[in-house]
Every structure is written in C-alpha cells, then in structure tokens.
C-alpha cells in the first residue's frame, strides 16, 4: 500500500535520479543556476563551496530521503500527521547538517584552486628558518598560511652577514620562479 506521507521523501529522490540519468546522456540541468545573482549570505549557509552546489544538493536530497523514510517506517503507517511533520523536520535538520559537513569535508580533502596559494602570493609573509644552508646559500623555511596550513620553501639570504640560524623568523622579500626560491632578510 502506498503511504502518502512517504511521498515527500520519494519524489525528491526520484527527481535526483532523473537529473542524474539526464546528465549521463549529456543533458546538464543547472537547477541552482538562478541563485547566481542573488544574495550570497544565505547561499553560504546552504552551500559552503559554490563549485560544489550540485553535490551538496544531491547529498541533501539523498540524506533527506533516507532519514525521512527510515523515521517514517519507525513511526508506522498509523501515526498522526503531527508525528509526520516532526519526522519531516528531523529529516530536514539531519540532511542539512550532514550535507553541509560532507561538503566541508570534501573541501578539506580536495581544496579548490582558488584556495591554494601561489608561491608569489607569499611575498611579505614571515617564515621560520628550518635548515640553514649546509653547502651553498639555500636554506629551508616554513611559512604558516592564514588558512591554518603551512608550506616549506627554499630560501636564500639577501641581508648583510650570515644566513639566519635555525628557528629565526625572517620575511619573504622576493620570489624567483626560475630557481623556485625566496629571498629572505
């Protein structure tokens, strides 16, 4: 017997499969494209990474359907409509939390190109000397990025005197693309 209260979970899942099937045949549907010219504040709340809107929406629909159907089965077909409304609200909250967290996890594992710093963008940042030069004039330094990560770079001293000792804080002054090194002082 078809339970009408389960339709709100089956219909979005069915639409998701239809859109995925059309995509396989080369038909791309940008169901979220209308949002491009709208306010960015609430979009950030719904879609933490703009280039993964489709994945976030698909994950939201899949979790919404699975959670809602599971809770619906647990409640039984004889449950009252207020119970089904509570189930829908719980499924909505769970699907938003899981889809948002899943997108953030994917963002950590596969960062977008826009977030990856170019070496030339590091000019002016401070760095800590890891290894002074053993032979020649190249040492290594670690730069702590504003995003929380760090990167190790090769560097050479342009200041007067000796190369700074291990643990000294220096500033990246210039970047040489040919040798892939930074000038520090």
Instruction: Report the pLDDT value the prediction gives residue 31, as an integer from 0 to 100.
Output: 53
Q: List, run by run, the mean pLDDT of 10-residue segments along the chain (185 residues).
A: 68 78 70 52 66 78 84 78 84 88 83 68 90 82 81 85 88 90 89
Q: Are 35 and 43 in contact (CB under 8 A)?
A: yes
Helices (H), the chain: 7-24, 40-46, 53-75, 81-109
Q: Cα dihedral angle (120, 123, 129, 133), rounded to 10 degrees?
A: 60
Does the domain made of 119-184 have the CATH classification 2.60.120.10?
no
Q: Hey, which residues does 171 pair with through a beta bridge?
A: 126
Domain boundaries, the chain: 4-109, 119-184
Please tell me the predicted confidence (pLDDT) of residue 141.
92
Whole-angstrom CA distances from 52 to 31, 46, 100, 101, 169 are 13, 11, 11, 13, 38
Model pLDDT, residue 33? 53
């Amino acid at each position: 017997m078809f339970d009408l209260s389960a339709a709100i979970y089956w219909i979005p899942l069915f639409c998701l499969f239809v859109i995925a099937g059309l995509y396989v045949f080369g038909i791309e549907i940008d169901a979220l494209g209308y949002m491009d010219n709208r306010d960015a504040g609430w979009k950030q709340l719904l879609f933490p990474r703009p280039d993964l809107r489709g994945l976030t929406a698909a994950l939201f629909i899949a979790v919404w359907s699975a959670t809602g159907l599971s809770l619906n089965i647990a409640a039984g077909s004889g449950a009252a409509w207020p119970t089904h409304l509570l189930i829908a609200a719980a499924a909505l909250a769970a699907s938003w939390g899981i889809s948002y967290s899943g997108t953030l996890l994917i963002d950590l594992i596969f960062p977008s190109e826009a977030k990856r710093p170019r070496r030339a963008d590091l000019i002016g940042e401070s760095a800590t000397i890891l290894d002074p030069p053993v032979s020649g004039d190249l040492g290594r330094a670690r730069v702590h990025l504003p995003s929380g990560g760090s990167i190790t770079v090769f560097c050479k001293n342009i200041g007067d005197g000796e190369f700074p000792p291990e643990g000294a804080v220096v500033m990246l002054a210039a970047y040489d693309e040919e040798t892939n090194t930074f000038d520090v002082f």
